[in-house]
Amino acid sequence: MKPTILIFEDNDRLRDSLSSLLSRSGEFALLNAFSDCREAEKHVISFQPEVILMDIDMPERNGIEAVKQIRTFDKKVQIIMLTIFDDNAHVFEALKAGANGYLLKKNIPEKLTVSIKEVLEGGAPMSPSIARMIITSIQDNHDSKNDYDLSKREKEILQSLSRGNSFKMIAAELMISVETVRTHIKNIYEKLHVHSQTEAVSKAINEKLV
């Protein structure tokens, strides 16, 4: 049997174009196409599609909200977002909501059928610029992960602090003077922008510094 498709797209011309592309391919069964997603849950339950093509920017209710609701009762249907947006906010919000792929409308003619096949095979189809943006974001987050320029010794002291050790115990453990421990801790506070041992330990644990 051909994979079944449901479309939610408010632009009449694009909706007709999507329907035509799917029909011409001969590889998919279009169940229906709707101009809004106000009753998306009802339609998904009724038609039980394998793939949903969901526009983001629709009247009264956007596609991201619809996806969130669909995911409350259907985890299996594959959802590809269709949009003119290629900004971080929309992309990550859609993926967080439960979308499986993200296709820019300008890439639909050459990417639609390939993307549907890919998502059915367990992939996460995305327009090239979207994929590049996500990779860049991940790299930026990795690069910006701040260890606050802590030295090896400062990290050792912070780790010991997080175990509840006193300054005297830390000094004995690392074979340094208590005064040296105090100096290191003063530097740690400055680098972490905190004012107490509790704040330092809390930040170290939350940000996985230790």
Q: What is the mean pLDDT of each run of 10 residues along the chain (210 residues)?
A: 96 96 94 96 97 93 95 95 81 86 91 93 83 70 66 90 84 93 91 82 78
| The pLDDT of residue 146 | 65
- Classify residue 35 by burial, with Cβ atoms within 10 Å: 0-12, 13-18, 19+: middle
Number of domains in the chain: 2
| The pLDDT of residue 92 | 81
In a domain, 147, yes or no: no
Examine the domain organization and report whether 116 and 172 are in the same domain: no
Examine the domain organization and report whether 135 and 183 are in the same domain: no
- Domain's final residue, options 93, 111, 142: 142
Contact 80/100 with Cβ under 8 angstroms? yes
In a domain, 15, yes or no: yes
| DSSP, res 163 | T
- Domain's final residue, options 142, 161, 178: 142
| The pLDDT of residue 128 | 79
| DSSP, res 3 | P
In a domain, 16, yes or no: yes
Taking the whole predicted model, whether its pTM rises above 0.75 is answered as no
What is the identity of the amino acid at 119? V
User: What is the domain range of residue 185?
Assistant: 152-206
Examine the domain organization and report whether 81 and 174 are in the same domain: no
- Domain's final residue, options 113, 142, 171: 142
| The pLDDT of residue 80 | 95
| The pLDDT of residue 129 | 77
> Rounded to whole angstroms, how far apart are CA atoms 78 and 58?
20
Rounded to a whole number, what is the distance in angstroms from the first to the last CA of the chain? 54
What DSSP line would sit under 80-125, residue for residue? Answer: EEEES--SHHHHHHHHHHT-SEEEEGGGHHHHHHHHHHHHHTT---
- For residue 114, count other CB atoms closer than 10 A to its CB: 12
In a domain, 129, yes or no: yes
